[in-house]
C-alpha cells in the first residue's frame, strides 16, 4: 500500500467487489499497517503472515477445535 499506483488498483478492486456485492479477501497481509489500511478501504477479510503462519493440517484442526469448531465440517 506504499506505492500510490498499487493503492489505486487496490481501491478499484475493492470498489468493484462492493458494487458486485462480493466479500473481498486480501491475501499476503504482512503488517498491522497493511491490515488497517485494507480495513479502512472496505476490505472484508484478510490472510497472511501478519495474521498467522502457514500450518499443517493437524495444527489447523487443533486451532479450529480450540475455538469450538468442528474441523471435519
pLDDT digits (tens, 9 = 90+) for 3-62: 889 999 999 999 999 999 999 999 999 999 999 999 999 999 999 999 999 999 999 999
Tell me the whole-structure pTM to 2 decimals: 0.76
22: in domain? yes
Residue at 72 is within a domain: no
Determine whether 27 is an active site residue.
yes
CA distance 7 to 34: 11
**Residue 52 in domain:** yes
Q: Is the pLDDT of residue 73 over 80?
A: no
26 touches 45 (CB < 8 A): yes
Task: Indicate the number of domains in the chain.
Answer: 1
Query: Among the options 2, 27, 33, 40, which is catalytic?
Result: 27
Amino acid at each position: 500500500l506504499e506505492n500510490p499506483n498499487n493503492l489505486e488498483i487496490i481501491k478499484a478492486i475493492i470498489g468493484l467487489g462492493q458494487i458486485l456485492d462480493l466479500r473481498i479477501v486480501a491475501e499476503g497481509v504482512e503488517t498491522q499497517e497493511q491490515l488497517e489500511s485494507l480495513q479502512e478501504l472496505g476490505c472484508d477479510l484478510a490472510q497472511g503472515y501478519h495474521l498467522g503462519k502457514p500450518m499443517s493440517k493437524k495444527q489447523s484442526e487443533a486451532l479450529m477445535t480450540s475455538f469450538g469448531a468442528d474441523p471435519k465440517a
